[in-house]
Amino acid sequence: MTRFTDSGGLTRRGLLGGLAAGACVALARPAVAQHEPGDAPASVQPIEVGAQPIAHFERSRPDAKRFGGLEFRGGLLLSSSTPHFGGWSGLATAADGSSLLAVSDAGSWLGAELAYRGGAPAGLARARIGPLLTVGGRPLRDKREQDAESVALVEGTPARGTVLIGFERLHRVGRFPVRDGQVQAPSGYLRLPQEAARMPANQGLEALAVIQSGPLQGSLVAFAERFTRGSSYHTGWLWVRDVPHRIQLRDIDGFNITDAAGLPDGGLLVLERHYRWTTGVKMRIRRLRSTEIAPGARLTGETVLEADSGFEIDNMEGMAVHRGPRGETVVTLVSDDNFNRLLQRTVLLQFTLLGEAASGKS
């Protein structure tokens, strides 16, 4: 579970005041000490996931659908009675959006079918949860091993394919087969660049994405949550034929990177989060064009969406992209509730990416 601080030195547990609209300091402070992440399950088990529709993205404008370069399709407030549910920090979806796989920073995975109604997400079906494993097949044992923050689908589907999972604290990217909807033991780990060892323990590999087309098709992109090394750029890497090359993304207004997803045209979306005790939580999505992505590149991209606590957001950490039924590009987001069911939520949101992304917050 990634921790971050604002200018007053609060950790991410201090998100409570900004994530819950109107929550006061007196409520937030005790929750910091009381709520710890849940344990991963010892084995795979079916679970029931409740889904409450989110019909409007902006609270003050319930009829609005377009926000920057995105059009809101719908959302869900997800919940489950199992104590293992929560902390979802990385997300992958099938090419048609019919299923998903999420990973938790408590060392677990969630697989499910994603149901729709009228083009909007309607619920999760046939959900299963299980532990992430070591190469030897045992469940990951402690926080240093368990802190999964990102997942990218390399081939196949979330039910039968191969995914890459990024971890922080013990920084690594593992290659995990998925069979019959269950994440198996990793077949191995990618070679990380030497400088990756200098990433802060709790601000490591938060974003993984695979380039979907063009000359770099199949290449992996990874970004650290915050590894600026005193510069005005975030640090990431682009693996071309299994060789990592540094790339950089401009640090704008102190946002941290939380995920990335490959676009059909070979570009990328990057998900970011910002928190200050005085202003609450914000999220931003930037689009990186395929023509800009290359070894050694210094990128800025364009802002597709920026939203604050006036919108139906939480601690947004996972992002995936799929094709909709009419060929449109659909963006799915999920939040990490920090296993704090008092003041945080597991929110799943879906948007359509519009043709030419407009800039800014509408």
Per-residue pLDDT for the chain (362 aa), expressed as one digit of tens each? 444 334 333 343 333 333 333 333 222 323 333 334 568 999 999 999 999 999 999 999 999 999 999 999 999 999 999 999 999 999 999 999 999 999 999 999 999 999 999 999 999 999 999 999 999 999 999 999 999 999 999 999 999 999 999 999 999 999 999 999 999 999 999 999 999 999 998 899 999 999 999 999 999 999 999 999 889 999 999 999 999 999 999 999 999 999 999 999 999 999 999 988 888 899 999 999 999 999 999 999 999 999 999 999 999 999 999 999 999 999 999 999 999 988 899 999 999 999 854 444 44
Q: Looking at residue 98, what is its pLDDT?
A: 98
Could you tell me which of 260, 264, 265, 284 has the C-alpha nearest to residue 274? 284
Is residue 358 assigned to a domain?
no
pTM: 0.89
Is residue 1 assigned to a domain?
no
Is residue 5 assigned to a domain?
no
Contacts of 283 (CB under 8 A, 6+ apart): 271, 272, 273, 274, 305, 306, 307, 313, 316, 333
CATH code at position 269? 2.115.10
298-299/243-250 β-pairing: parallel
Is residue 201 assigned to a domain?
yes
Q: Looking at residue 355, what is its pLDDT?
A: 82
Residue bearing tokens 């710890």: 36
- Tokens at 203, concatenated: 């601000």
- Domains of the chain: total: 1
Is residue 4 assigned to a domain?
no
Could you tell me which of 63, 4, 48 has the C-alpha nearest to residue 204? 4
Q: Looking at residue 29, what is its pLDDT?
A: 28
Is residue 241 assigned to a domain?
yes
Cβ-contact 206, 150 below 8 angstroms: yes
Q: Looking at residue 278, what is its pLDDT?
A: 82
Q: What is the distance of C-alpha 187 from the center of its chain?
A: 23
Is residue 362 assigned to a domain?
no
Range of the domain at 40: 12-353
Is residue 240 assigned to a domain?
yes
